[in-house]
Amino acid sequence: MCAFLLAAALFAGEPRPNIVVLFADDLRFDAIGAFGNDEVKTPHLDALARRGTAFTHCFNMGSMNPAVCMPSRAMLMSGRTL
């Protein structure tokens, strides 16, 4: 057991960052408080936007027409277009 732990410590790489990608369907750019909506209370999304990285000028049309769920998600996660 000690040999295993020693080997694990020796070959361990640098710690990886924790990355969370949040897809909130059917939201306009100003649908949460962090981006200007005073009517809807979204404290958890606001906190994530304040402490993390938010795409404020990102547009994804999805397929050949306005956004379609599956193609839009695939394009955002892969960085490729259809």
Question: Tens-digit pLDDT profile for the chain (82 aa)?
Answer: 566 666 666 676 777 788 877 776 667 778 889 888 999 899 998 998 888 877 777 666 655 566 667 777 787 778 887 6
Residue 58 annotated to the active site: no
- Of 26, 21, 43, give the one whose Cα is nearest residue 34: 43
Angle at 21 (CA atoms; ends 29, 32), nearest 5 degrees: 30
- Catalytic residue, candidates 27, 69, 77, 82: 69
Residue 76 falls in which region: left (phi positive, over 0), alpha (psi -120 to 50) or beta: alpha
* Per-residue confidence (pLDDT) for residue 5, from 0 to 100: 65
